[in-house]
Structure 1
Amino acid sequence: MDVSIVIPVYNEAENVLHLAAEVEQALKPLNGCWECLWIDDGSTDDTWDKLLLVASAHPGGPHRLCALKKNAGQSAALWVGFQRCRGRFIATLDGDGQNDPRDIPRLVALLVDGRYDMVQGYREARKDSLKRRLASRIANGFRNLITGKSVRDVGCSTRVFRRECLPYLPPFKGLHRFLPTLLMYQGFRIAETPVNHRPRRRGTTKYGIFDRLWVGLLDIFGVSWLRVRGFRCQVVRTFPEQDTHHE
């Protein structure tokens, strides 16, 4: 398995069929060496039924489903998906259709030669309201200031990283907002590249601007604590001989 895509969804019944078709079309160049993990984060509409249609259309195929008992949040849904991934490279997308799956093969290609451990997308032409863009810019700037790491658009969910990064991602509710920052703390090499962003065409957003802003600010101080108190080390030799790897 080359690529695992993790897509958390919450009450996105209007979007999953179209998004699944886009994923299948975008990943055709990988000749079946990919999987898509859909994590239903406690949806109360018929999202799960739509996902069953996606999976049953390809028995034994690339779409795998997991439903959480109740809504646990985007970070928890991603974490559950990460634990089930089988690919060498792990990609993430939002379930609202605003991220473009066609960006994924290009991001994977940037990892293949080994220069980077993660490629983080940034929304060059963001298709959101002015209020949402402004709130995001303020939060992103403050986040970079406090954490000491500069990431152009940490809120963009279009990203791909190596499987080796997984053990260094701590499970907490704000994880999805700090993925590149946390990996940079551990010495992983991060590249950033522009990606496509599209307006939401179906359904409504599940997150309020100020809900995310205040919670995100609280999380920043927790991640900053990790910056000061976290540690990074590298094994240089073992006996009997084993592969040296990132620790």
Structure 2
Amino acid sequence: MDLSIVIPVYNEEENVQELAFEVKEALEPSGLRWECLWIDDGSTDGTWDRLLDVAQGRSSGHHRLYGLERNTGQSAALWVGFQRCRGRLIATLDGDGQNDPRDLPRLVALLDHDGYDFVQGYRATRHDSLKRRIASRIANGFRNFFTGKSVRDVGCSTRVFRRECLPYLPPFKGLHRFLPTLAMYQGFRLTEMPVRHRPRRRGIAKYGIFDRLWVGILDLFGVWWLRRRGFRCRLARAYPKQEPL
């Protein structure tokens, strides 16, 4: 399997079928062997039923579904998906349709041909309210200052990285906000690429601006601690050699 796409969803019954169609349209011409893992984060609407329609449809072999017993958060949903991926590369998208799956083949090509480990998208043109854009810029700047790593748009969920990164991503509730930063802490090579961003067409946003602000500040202390107390090591050799290093 070349590519595993992990999409966490919560109450997105109006968006998941169209997004599944777009994923198929974007990846079928690429020649990649791909799968799409949908993690239903305790939805209370018809999201699971719409996902079943996707998984039982014409492209059913590409889709796998996992439903959490209650709403646990985006980081937990991503973590569940990461543990079940079969691809050599892992991609993420938001389930609200604002990320464009057509960007994924470009990000994969950059990893395959330029030797990077992690490609983080950044939204070149934002289609959010002015208040949300300002809050995002402040949060990104504060986060980069505090963590010592410069990532232009960590809030963008369009990204692709090698599965070798997975063992170094600790499970915690703010994981989705720090994925590229945590990968860089472990010495993985990161680059950034502009990607499309679309206005939300259906449904409502699940995050409030100030909800994310206060929780994000708390998470920063945890990531700062990891930076100060973490260590980096790679196996160089083993005997007998029973598995790849």
Partner of 1:72: 72
Partner of 1:229: 229
Q: CA deviation at 1:195?
A: 0.2
Q: Does residue 1:137 correspond to 2:137, yes or no?
A: yes
Aligned positions of 1:55-94 closer than 5 A:
55-58=55-58, 61-94=61-94
Partner of 1:127: 127
For the residues of structure 2 that align with 1:238 and 1:217, how far apart are their CA atoms?
Answer: 41
Q: CA deviation at 1:44?
A: 0.2
**SS in structure 2 opposite 1:95?**
coil
Unaligned runs of 5+ in 1: none
1:156-189 Cα deviation digits (max 9, x unpaired)? 0000000111100000000000000000000000
Partner of 1:22: 22
Check 1:59–1:129 CA distance in 2 against 1; reply closer, same or farther (3 A cut). Answer: closer
**SS in structure 1 opposite 2:61?**
coil
Unaligned runs of 5+ in 2: none
**SS in structure 2 opposite 1:36?**
strand
Whether the aligned pair in 2 keeps the contact of 1:32 and 1:62 (CA below 8 Å) is no
**SS in structure 2 opposite 1:27?**
helix
Partner of 1:163: 163
For the residues of structure 2 that align with 1:18 and 1:66, how far apart are their CA atoms?
Answer: 19
The normalised TM-score by structure 2 is 0.97
Q: CA deviation at 1:115?
A: 1.5
For the residues of structure 1 that align with 2:237 and 2:86, how far apart are their CA atoms?
Answer: 28
For the residues of structure 1 that align with 2:236 and 2:57, how far apart are their CA atoms?
Answer: 48
Check 1:67–1:145 CA distance in 2 against 1; reply closer, same or farther (3 A cut). Answer: same
Check 1:22–1:59 CA distance in 2 against 1; reply closer, same or farther (3 A cut). Answer: closer
Which stretches of structure 1, 4 residues or more, deviate above 3 A after TM superposition? 241-245
**SS in structure 1 opposite 2:83?**
helix
For the residues of structure 1 that align with 2:152 and 2:209, how far apart are their CA atoms?
Answer: 19
Q: CA deviation at 1:63?
A: 0.8
**SS in structure 1 opposite 2:66?**
strand
Partner of 1:202: 202
Q: CA deviation at 1:244?
A: 6.7
Q: CA deviation at 1:60?
A: 5.1
The normalised TM-score by structure 1 is 0.96
AA partner of residue 201 (structure 1): R
**SS in structure 1 opposite 2:178?**
helix
Q: CA deviation at 1:237?
A: 2.7
Whether the aligned pair in 2 keeps the contact of 1:90 and 1:162 (CA below 8 Å) is yes
AA partner of residue 67 (structure 1): G
Q: Does residue 1:181 correspond to 2:185, yes or no?
A: no
For the residues of structure 2 that align with 1:121 and 1:32, how far apart are their CA atoms?
Answer: 20
Whether the aligned pair in 1 keeps the contact of 2:54 and 2:60 (CA below 8 Å) is no
Partner of 2:95: 95
**SS in structure 2 opposite 1:61?**
helix
For the residues of structure 2 that align with 1:32 and 1:52, how far apart are their CA atoms?
Answer: 24
AA partner of residue 98 (structure 2): Q
